[in-house]
Amino acid sequence: MFDVETAVYVIPKRNLARIGFEWLRVIERIVEMPYRFLKMYFKRNLSEAGFSADKRRFGWLIRQRRGDRREMALFAVGLLHNLFAVRVVG
């Protein structure tokens, strides 16, 4: 998908020593397969955006204490999330 002339440049903001080994693995994945990395990144990004929208729309906490009521509240939030996500094209 990328041409031979495509290059990836990673420029850290400050000290390179602060990046650590965790970021080294991430950078290696970016360099090895940039398309796959970006595809997975945007899936995570959409998922987190969905959680954030649900929190803003339905509240930050589940206030029920009993297990069955907690499950029902989570089910209701999931159902409403899916209903709001449906786009009807007329």
Band (13; pLDDT cuts 50, 70, 90) = low
User: Cα separation of 57 and 71, whole Å?
Assistant: 18
pTM attached to this predicted model: 0.43
* 9, part of any domain: no
Expressed as residue numbers, the domain containing 32 is 16-85
* 65, part of any domain: yes
Q: What is the number of domains present in the chain?
A: 1
Tens digits of per-residue pLDDT, 29-85? 888 998 998 888 888 887 788 778 777 877 777 778 888 988 888 888 888 877 777
Band (1; pLDDT cuts 50, 70, 90) = low
* 11, part of any domain: no
